[in-house]
């Protein structure tokens, strides 16, 4: 393995090669414009101004760029809409960024096979809107669905509010066209519902954060939309009571289409931000939704009964679609509400559902011990929570305490049989934590796959697992 030339300065001949291959408008070198390609939405992750931003519109453009980058050993950082929360799209020293937002065509939408073929720069919302014209929908629903791209969703295996019932992005990816580090292009996967011909190589690229190749086209599955959902909210005097309710509901075989949890800090922030009036005594709030059509009323009644039996002090079922949307909007407001308290650093761990309350309570103890404000929001139905640490970026001590909180939260999640990241990814933010989750053999296998596809570590260097020392 040979490391990329991270200190290389783009001289005129190389710039001329890129411009000849992709055209004048596809290569950005103006420092003021390049600043917009420097980093994603993650806080406290290092970034630097890239050497240039390359903006392809076709797979041929991507192949040409990667051949040039490979020949000159220039590292390349793939990017989408820059909505990520782990620093995976941050520019690194001496690198080009390859931003796919101009690759935004919906190539095919087949209502019979219920698939769409799209370029990576198509947004989640654009695909949903196009599918709606055929009576279909694209089910993955990350919080950033209006702006995040399909390529970025696939690269991070994005989750979202509805994945408790419908699954994360990987469930809907059937096939991918990818360009490798040396400029070769290939199709991996299939168009069909079934397919077991050989290894499932496409799955390697889902969640790989641009470290194995550049996605240039995705074939994804579509579905019929569910019935208009009904929503309820339950307020609890403790996280333990809320956790008991979640466990009882899941044990009863009930799978809400949305099942979200807010802790005391987050509830108070939302109340102050949007006057939702959850109440000052709320230690936790569960928001559940059912899209089971005629059975939705009965399903919510069962969920409400389990909440009451677990100690809920108030259970409210929305009377109409407007009230339902208000409750879901309360969950979507968690991040901007916490942002008013300071700079939010969003964590992302998953634990077995049976340990959800223990995980949330431990976050509270960590916050108290370190003198931090940490609000917890999460996908209660699958054990994925987002402790959000309020940080003062100008205060080194605050940043150091936030880093310690991240480490302690991750360690506790692993001790419970969980994972350091459920959906945001590793990127830069959790790079140093990844090997605490992997054993030495698993780490060696991952590096072996990386080096087979990208022997010079040109693609997104420094992200996820670093090169062998």
C-alpha distances (whole Å) from 2 to each of 6, 184, 307, 456 are 11, 19, 57, 5
What's the Rg (C-alpha) of the chain?
A: 23
Is the pTM of the predicted complex or chain greater than 0.85? Answer: yes
Instruction: Classify residue 251: in a domain, yes or no.
Output: no
Residue 428: inside a domain, yes or no? Answer: no
- Please write the tens of the pLDDT for every residue from 248-303: 999 999 999 999 999 999 999 999 998 877 776 789 999 999 999 999 999 999 99
Look-up of token digits 């041929």: 60
Residue 44's nearest CA partner among 391, 385, 337, 405 is 391
Place of tokens 């991507």: 62
Q: How far is CA 58 from the centre of its chain?
A: 25
**Residue 104, C-beta contacts closer than 8 angstroms, at least 6 positions apart:** 119, 121, 122, 123, 126, 149
Task: Name the burial class of residue 89, with classes exposed (0-12), middle (13-18) and buried (19+) by CB atoms within 10 angstroms of its CB.
Answer: buried
Please report whether residue 298 resides in a domain.
Answer: no
The answer to whether residue 259 sits within a structural domain is no
313-345 confidence digits (pLDDT tens): 999 998 888 888 888 888 888 989 999 998 889
Report the CATH number that the domain containing residue 159 is assigned in CATH.
3.30.465.10
pLDDT value for 8 = 46
- pLDDT tens sequence across 140-152: 999 899 999 999 9
Q: What is the DSSP letter of 224?
A: P
DSSP H helices, 371-418, are 396-415
Alpha helix (H) ranges present in 224-320? 239-251, 264-274, 296-309
Domain that holds residue 158: 106-221
CA angle 138–318–168, rounded 5-degree value? 25
Please report whether residue 116 resides in a domain.
Answer: yes
232-259 tens-digit pLDDT: 999 999 999 999 999 999 999 999 999 9
Low-confidence ranges of the chain (pLDDT < 50): 3, 6-8
Take residue 406 and report the two structure tokens written for it: 């991240």
Say if 87 falls within a structural domain: no
C-alpha to C-alpha distance for 117 and 177, rounded to whole angstroms: 10
Inside any domain, residue 346: no
What is the domain count for the chain? Answer: 1
Residue 2 lies in a domain: no
CA separation, residue 390 to residues 146, 266, 358 (Å): 25, 11, 21
């Amino acid at each position: 393995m040979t490391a990329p030339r991270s200190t290389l300065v783009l001289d005129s001949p190389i710039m001329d090669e890129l411009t000849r291959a992709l055209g004048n408008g596809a290569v950005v070198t103006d420092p003021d414009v390049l600043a917009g390609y420097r980093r994603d939405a993650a806080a406290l992750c290092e970034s630097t101004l890239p050497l240039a931003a390359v903006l392809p519109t076709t797979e041929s453009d991507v192949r040409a760029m990667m051949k040039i980058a490979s020949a000159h050993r220039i590292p390349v950082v793939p990017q989408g809409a820059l909505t990520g929360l782990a620093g995976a799209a941050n520019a690194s020293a001496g690198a080009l960024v390859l931003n796919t937002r101009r690759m935004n065509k919906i190539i095919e939408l087949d209502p019979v096979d219920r698939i769409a073929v799209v370029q990576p720069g198509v947004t989640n919302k654009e695909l949903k809107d196009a599918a709606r014209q055929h009576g279909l929908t694209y089910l993955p629903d990350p919080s950033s669905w209006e702006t995040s791209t399909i390529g970025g969703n696939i690269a991070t295996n994005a989750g979202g509010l509805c994945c408790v019932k419908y699954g994360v992005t990987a469930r809907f990816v059937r096939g991918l066209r990818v360009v490798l580090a040396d400029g070769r292009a290939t199709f991996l996967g299939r168009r069909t519902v079934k397919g077991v011909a050989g290894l499932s190589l496409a799955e390697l690229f889902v969640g790989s954060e641009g470290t194995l190749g550049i996605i240039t086209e995705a074939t994804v599955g579509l579905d019929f939309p569910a019935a208009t959902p009904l929503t309820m909210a339950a307020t609890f005097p403790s996280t333990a009571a809320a956790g008991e309710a979640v466990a009882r509901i899941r044990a009863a075989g009930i799978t809400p289409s949305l099942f979200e949890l807010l802790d005391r800090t987050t509830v108070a922030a939302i109340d102050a931000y949007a006057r939702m009036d959850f109440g000052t005594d709320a230690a936790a709030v569960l928001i559940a939704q059912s899209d089971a059509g005629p059975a939705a009323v009965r399903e919510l009644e069962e969920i409400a009964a389990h909440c009451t039996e677990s100690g809920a002090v108030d259970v409210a079922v929305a009377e109409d679609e407007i009230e339902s949307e208000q409750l879901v909007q309360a969950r979507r407001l968690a991040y901007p509400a916490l942002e008013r308290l300071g700079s939010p650093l969003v964590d992302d761990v998953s634990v077995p559902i049976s340990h959800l309350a223990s995980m949330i309570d431990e976050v509270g103890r960590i916050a108290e011990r370190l003198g931090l404000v940490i609000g917890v929001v999460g996908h209660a139905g699958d054990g994925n929570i987002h402790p959000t640490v309020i940080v003062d970026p100008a205060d080194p001590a605050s940043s150091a305490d936030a880093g310690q909180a991240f480490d302690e939260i991750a360690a506790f999640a692993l001790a419970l049989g969980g994972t350091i990241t459920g959906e945001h990814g590793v990127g830069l933010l959790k790079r140093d934590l990844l090997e605490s989750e992997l054993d030495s053999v698993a780490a060696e296998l991952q590096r072996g796959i990386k080096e087979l596809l990208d022997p010079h570590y040109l693609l997104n260097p420094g992200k996820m697992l670093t090169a062998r020392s």
